[in-house]
Chains A and B, each alone.
Chain A
Amino acid sequence: MPSLGADMEKGKVVEWLKKPGDPIARGDVVAVVETQKGAFEIEAFEAGILGEILVPVGVEAPVGAVLARIDGPGAAPRPAMAAPAPPRPAIQPVASPPPRPAQIATGRPRISPAAARRAIELGVDTRGLSGSGPGGAIAIADVEAAARKPAAPQPSAPPTGTPGPRRGFDPAAMRQAIATAMARSKREIPHYYLSLPIDMGIASEWLAAENARRDVERRLLPAALLLKAVALALRAVPELNGFWVEGAPRLSPSIHVGWAIALRGGGLMAPAIHDADRLTLDQAMAALRDLTTRARVARVRGSEMMDPTVTVTSLGERGADSVFGVIYPPQLAIVGFGAPRITALPVGDAIRPRPVVQATLAADHRASDGALGSRLLATIDRHLQRPESL
């Protein structure tokens, strides 16, 4: 049971996506765990064959407990334990090969067109079904077998697009988790606050020109520039990237930016965009889109909750002028961006209307001082004045 945040003590397994005997690649999503903050996908850290499952669905386990064993590559697949296999449909006579997971690395199920149509007719949720077709794809027979089983408590699959919300998402529990973390932050962390207005004129013009050349789906949002600017600035000021652990700062060599996402049903999470300083703007944009979409349907992975080394909160177009964030413990800093406002700004000898964003920093005074924090904000500013180099 991985720790999905400093305040987590236990979690409940709500779904196993792999069965004993299934091959597992590093990074595969193997299970879904429910915590106070919602349901999260748990990835495998090792490759191999899934051996015995030790914590079945519906059971709570403390952080650190062993959920299942992964046998080394080459280990003989074990016979499936748990529930007996569903009866084979009549159209499949004699012996069949063992069912294989119909998931591929993208998480999109492989399903034949005929099976997909039949699933809609029968109202069968194909997520998690095993496939008996070529390449492990879900075939009609698999769908019809699933339809014959007693109705599962799962909601039927939405016809296309993003999968629906996970079970186990409880806004009240998430509120409680936020309360715990924020109270701990304000109790333990001596925050200091800095702010710097940043002229976004050049960045806006560059973005408009860049987007004019792009297809709609490839357009960039200002958020991608902000994300990249913060990540690059943290390379120059690494003292603000990392954690406060056991009375001392522990800096992180990687820059994993936790991006604060407000959830529609209330609540907030800040999952990681890994190695944000090494992403191109297109990759950063894609990562933001992907993460936002998944966060809103509670499909964020455990590693994304564990990994952030810093947090960025951006209020967007309709937000307030500025935000002084509360550090997510045990991180060292949180960077905030207010809504862009047209502001009278001296440019050379004249006063000009310019789009201005208030950049703010809340940092842990135990680990750093205001001069260092100022350097971070100034570096972010400098990057945003040269958007073409982001």
Chain B
Amino acid sequence: MTTTYREAIKQAIRDALNRDERVFLMGEDVGRYGGCYAVTKGLLEEFGEARIRDTPLSESAFVGAGIGAAMAGLRPIVEIMTVNFSLLALDQIVNNAATIPHMSGGQFAVPLVIRMATGAGRQLAAQHSHSLEGWYAHIPGLKIVAPATLEDARGMLWSALEDPNPVLIFEQVNLYNMEAELAADAGAVPLCGAAVRRAGRDLSLVTYGASLHKSLVAAQLLATEGIEAEVIDLRSLRPLDDATIMASLARTRRILVVDEGWRSGGISAEICARVAEQGFYDLDAPPARLCGVEVPIPYPKHLEDAAIPQVETIHAAALELVRPSGRST
């Protein structure tokens, strides 16, 4: 059946609420308003105020409440409107959620799931459009996933609720309206492990989130020019699936990381470092990155588009890696 990414998430939430009475959802405007991206529209009527809870405008408070609920045995799904706002809850996420299982010697699990929107492309300007998931991937104790397909949007939530660790799910804002086929019996999928979305022999495009779809289009363009790009969807940024990346590199010997996040200290830097550490002797060209331009994401459409990887820039960067035009590095 054809449906949207937004609808796949709603199905996943509904399924979790039906399967396990310990599951509940809370966040700003998730109830009466139906969620700022309309993901939870209708769920309040369906499940009632006890399980679909509108919270005050205090990320620190409701994330903290979620941590407490998870420690006490519930299975909270916390929605934060956008990753930029999650910074107000950094103390709860980094100092509490990520550390309590360790500091309690395993006595407390924190089976908390936090969903949030991330990324640019909706003209929401610099305070609503950043891609900070790479930052969170720095923190031991957290799991960081980024579903890019309907199957993953539908299937990662239940696996995240089952996981005893706090899991952050990053939903790129441009994906909500994406339509695709989703099997009627679609269910849980593993949280970790990268997926090869397109096989190729000439270079590996390593990416996640909305950049996956741009990379797949770029790969089609490259194919018309005789270049077969392998496209890897990371799915999980923490843990990273080193084995899949290195196996792809061993086939293609060239790697281009495509990441909407900023270059300096980003997840792309981590991937390139691991490639240098583990795949050095497979490299036939320096590991390359195409990242977000290092500016606060601009509001005007043309500048916003220019600030993040696009099909044309991915295509050009890939071409430069496989068939250098002669410009010296």
Tell me if A301 counts as interface (CB < 8 A to partner B): no
How many contacts between A and B, using CB within 8 angstroms? 50
Q: At the interface, is chain A mostly helix, strand, loop or mixed? A: loop
Tell me if A140 counts as interface (CB < 8 A to partner B): yes
| Residues of A close to B253: CB separation below 8 A | 112, 114, 140
Known: A134-B285, A134-B320, A139-B284. 14 other contacts (CB 8 A): A93-B226, A97-B324, A97-B325, A98-B326, A100-B326, A113-B280, A113-B282, A133-B284, A133-B285, A134-B329, A135-B328, A136-B328, A140-B253, A140-B284
* A contact set with B: CB distance below 8 Å: 91-94, 96-98, 100, 112-117, 132-137, 139-140
Tell me if B221 counts as interface (CB < 8 A to partner A): no
| Residues of A close to B286: CB separation below 8 A | 112, 134
Tell me if B46 counts as interface (CB < 8 A to partner A): no
| Residues of B close to A117: CB separation below 8 A | 281
Partner of A115, one of B284, B321, B328: B284
Asked, given contacts A93-B226, A94-B225, whether A135 binds B281 with beta carbons under 8 Å apart, the answer is no
Q: A115's closest neighbor in chain B, by CB?
A: B284
Shortest beta-carbon distance from B174 to chain A in Å? 31
| Residues of A close to B323: CB separation below 8 A | 92, 96-97
Of residues 262 to 304 in B, which have CB atoms within 8 Å of A's CB atoms?
280-286
Q: A273 to B312, alpha carbons, bound, how many Å?
A: 53
Of residues 234 to 284 in B, which have CB atoms within 8 Å of A's CB atoms?
253, 280-284
Contact B226 A137 (CB under 8 A): no
Q: At the interface, is chain B mostly helix, strand, loop or mixed? A: loop
**Max count, chain A CB within 10 A of own CB: residue among B202, B284, B285:** B284
Contact B281 A134 (CB under 8 A): no
Q: A126 to B280, alpha carbons, bound, how many Å?
A: 19
Contact A114 B281 (CB under 8 A): yes
Q: A110's closest neighbor in chain B, by CB?
A: B329
Contact B283 A114 (CB under 8 A): yes
Q: A98 to B323, alpha carbons, bound, how many Å?
A: 11
Contact A113 B283 (CB under 8 A): yes
Q: A96's closest neighbor in chain B, by CB?
A: B323
Contact A112 B284 (CB under 8 A): yes
Contact A134 B283 (CB under 8 A): no
Shortest beta-carbon distance from B98 to chain A in Å? 36
Q: B328's closest neighbor in chain A, by CB?
A: A135
Partner of B226, one of A94, A98, A113, A136: A94
Q: A98's closest neighbor in chain B, by CB?
A: B326
Shortest beta-carbon distance from A49 to chain B in Å? 14
Q: A98 to B282, alpha carbons, bound, how many Å?
A: 25
Shortest beta-carbon distance from B182 to chain A in Å? 37
| Residues of A close to B320: CB separation below 8 A | 134
Q: A117 to B279, alpha carbons, bound, how many Å?
A: 12
Asked, given contacts A93-B226, A94-B225, A97-B326, whether A134 binds B321 with beta carbons under 8 Å apart, the answer is yes
Q: A144 to B323, alpha carbons, bound, how many Å?
A: 17
Q: A132 to B320, alpha carbons, bound, how many Å?
A: 11
Shortest beta-carbon distance from A48 to chain B in Å? 17
Shortest beta-carbon distance from A221 to chain B in Å? 36
Contact B324 A133 (CB under 8 A): yes
Q: B329's closest neighbor in chain A, by CB?
A: A135
| Residues of B close to A139: CB separation below 8 A | 284-285
| 3 closest Cβ pairs, A-B complex | A135-B329, A93-B226, A114-B284
Partner of A132, one of B280, B282, B324, B329: B324
Q: What are some 30 contacts across the A-B interface (CB < 8 A)?
A: A92-B323, A94-B225, A94-B226, A96-B323, A97-B325, A98-B326, A100-B326, A112-B253, A112-B284, A112-B285, A112-B286, A113-B283, A114-B253, A114-B282, A114-B283, A114-B284, A115-B284, A116-B281, A117-B281, A133-B284, A134-B286, A134-B320, A134-B324, A134-B329, A135-B324, A135-B328, A135-B329, A136-B324, A139-B284, A140-B253
